Amino acid sequence: MKSSFLKHLERQAKSFLYQSIFARIFRNKPALLPLDKSKVKTVLLIRRDMIGDMILTTSGIEFLNRIMPDAKIDVFCSPKGATVLEHNPKVSRLFVADLKSLTQTLRTAFQLRKHHYDLILALTIRRTTQDGLLANLISKKAIKSCILLKKSADLYPVLFNAPVDITDHTGQETKPLFENLHYFLAKLFGEKVDLPSVKQELFIAESEKKIAEDFLREKVCGQFVVFNTSARLPEKEWGLHNASQFLKAFSEMFPDLIVVVSCDVDEREKVEKVLGELACKNVMLAPKVHLRVLSHLISKAQLLISPDTALVHVAATFNVPSVILCAREHSGIEFTPMGKHENIWADAGTPITSIPPELVLSRVQSALMEINQNSQ
């Protein structure tokens, strides 16, 4: 009861702050929807979260570039998000600030004021109100837009003059993020949604491709799968004990199929030790490389196995199927990737570590059989 009461007080205080102070400062007048594309010459996307979220957003950038080919698209993003967009020819400029650094974020926002944007889109998941505050710091005159969430419907008109309600299209708010993004952009500009044509893009420099190709040529002979041991959140970690058991069983079942193991930099020594103890000839650690180099490796693989969706979004970009290990409490439908994938769910109330290696091996075997059948 105390928690609910405190939340109610916090909500009331927040509402007072927005309605009594921010509304008078920002003075956002409602924009007429749909927007006239011919009047939008400069667009800023605020997307300050993680790698997978930015990969999903590339489909929105592709959509905007297609309907407004002459408009300049800038992106305000995190360092990890920037790694996804650095070679994207459809992005004019990247402005990077660490999500954890308020000083850096505010400094970047004030730097952006000189660019006089026509349209600012707030896209950071679960930080829409923060994005809205930044959008108003960046520009008073720009049209500011976001996906309207019912829980914040009373606050958003203060921050945004073009919040877009997409529930009449989707039937509900909880849908895959890439679908919500396209319903939002389509309604904002009066366009039609064609989900089968939605396309993610990850541009990789030739020098980065060469690093990946050299590794494959020297270390990998023939077909291979990529097995990712790491996850961004601890609760999504499958654990090296499970990984070791899976890799040993996989090596025995598929002795002629290479497994390239990827991991985060801070786990590399532990993974190297585990693989050394396994001593499986067809299991090897991926080189310590940039995300885009690893992405090119994944693009050449038959299959990706991962407890985290960041690399799954990479695989989906290149039409590589995935087997995903999921904890029900931490893997919502909104994070469903595009492309061919199969989820292996932990039982309700149990951690992802409870997923048995033999179950993962069975699902991987089925996925590989389907891939082989489709290639014939």
Domain residues for 181? 22-197
- Does one domain contain both 216 and 79? no
- Does one domain contain both 304 and 186? no
Least confident of 130-139, 171-180, 212-221: 171-180
Q: Of 151, 170, 197, which closes a domain?
A: 197
- Does one domain contain both 213 and 330? yes
Number of domains in the chain: 2
- More confident position, 277 or 221: 277
What does pLDDT average to over the chain? 90
- Does one domain contain both 142 and 224? no
3-state SS, the chain, equals CHHHHHHHHHHHHHHHHHHHHHHHHHCCCCCCCCCCHHHCCEEEEEECCCHHHHHHHHHHHHHHHHHCCCCEEEEEECHHHHHHHCCCCCCCEEEECCCCCHHHHHHHHHHHHHHCCCEEEECCCCCHHHHHHHHHHHCCCCEEEEECCHHHCCCHHHHCCEEECCHHHHCCCCCCHHHHHHHHHHHHHCCCCCHHHCCCCCCCCHHHHHHHHHHHHHHCCCCEEEEECCCCCHHHCCCHHHHHHHHHHHHHHCCCCEEEEECCHHHHHHHHHHHHHHCCCCEEECCCCCHHHHHHHHHCCCCEEECCCHHHHHHHHCCCCEEEEECCCCCCHHHCCCCCEEEEECCCCCCHHHCCHHHHHHHHHHHHHHHHHHHC
Residue 89 forms part of a structural domain:
yes
Q: Is the pLDDT of residue 21 over 70?
A: no
CATH number reported for the structural domain that contains residue 123 in this entry? 3.40.50.2000
Least confident of 66-80, 88-102, 116-130, 160-174: 160-174
Q: Of 164, 197, 230, which closes a domain?
A: 197
Residue 1 forms part of a structural domain:
no
- Residue-level pLDDT at 2: 46
Residue 9 forms part of a structural domain:
no
Residue 8 forms part of a structural domain:
no
Q: Of 151, 174, 197, which closes a domain?
A: 197
Could you report the per-residue pLDDT of 54-91, keeping only the tens digit for each? 999 999 999 999 999 999 999 999 999 999 999 999 99
Residue 225 forms part of a structural domain:
yes
- Does one domain contain both 181 and 214? no
- Does one domain contain both 81 and 126? yes
- Residue-level pLDDT at 347: 84
Average pLDDT over residues 295-317: 95
- Does one domain contain both 171 and 276? no
- Residue-level pLDDT at 23: 62
- Does one domain contain both 146 and 244? no
